[in-house]
Amino acid sequence: MVPADGEDWSVRRLTTIEVRRAYELAYEENGDPKESYNEIDVMIVKATEHDFDWNSKDLLLAYNCVSKYELPPRILDNPSDYAELSKAVTKFQETKDALLKEAKNSSSKTEKQAG
């Protein structure tokens, strides 16, 4: 649970495919970043949508948003709250990257030892 905006937010670990998809959604086909949201906004939505209704039409209208991915920085208007959720979703990614790197290194040692 991550405290933000006066509530505890349940943040789940994203899969590799979901992280990849977050980057795809945050950039135009030509590689330029989208103007209305970034990959962290997408990751926050994906990591919390099991517990928060980002698809609420009333919420989108209230914040004048076209996409649910535009909502995180608008709802979490306190920069420290946004930063806490941002850290939570990226920390999972860093942990996963470190574990993958460790697994790669240990498997290459095993191959050398076996050879």
Report pLDDT digits (tens) over 50-99: 999 999 999 999 999 999 999 999 998 889 999 999 999 887 655 555 55
How many domains does the structure of the chain reveal? 1
- Confidence band, pLDDT 50/70/90 cuts, at residue 104: low
Whole-angstrom distance, CA of residue 95 vs CA of residue 98:
5
Maximum average pLDDT range among 7-21, 38-52, 99-113:
38-52
Give backbone dihedrals phi and psi of 69, rounded to 5 degrees, phi first. Answer: -70, -15
> What are the tens digits of pLDDT across the range 35-58?
999 999 999 999 999 999 999 999
Q: For position 94, what pLDDT does the model report?
A: 57
Specify the CATH number for the domain of residue 50.
3.30.2220.30
List the domain range (segments joined by +) for residue 52: 2-114
C-alpha angle 45/11/31, rounded to 5°? Answer: 40
Residues paired with 9 in a beta bridge: 2
Of these ranges, 7-11, 20-24, 44-48, 89-93, the one predicted with the greatest mean pLDDT is: 44-48
Give the contacts of 67 (CB within 8 A, at least 6 positions apart): 36, 37
Which pLDDT score is estimated for 68? 96
What the block records as the tokens of 6 is 């006066």
With a CB cutoff of 8 Å and minimum separation 6, the contacts of 9 are 1, 2, 3, 48, 51, 52, 85, 88
pLDDT at 111: 47
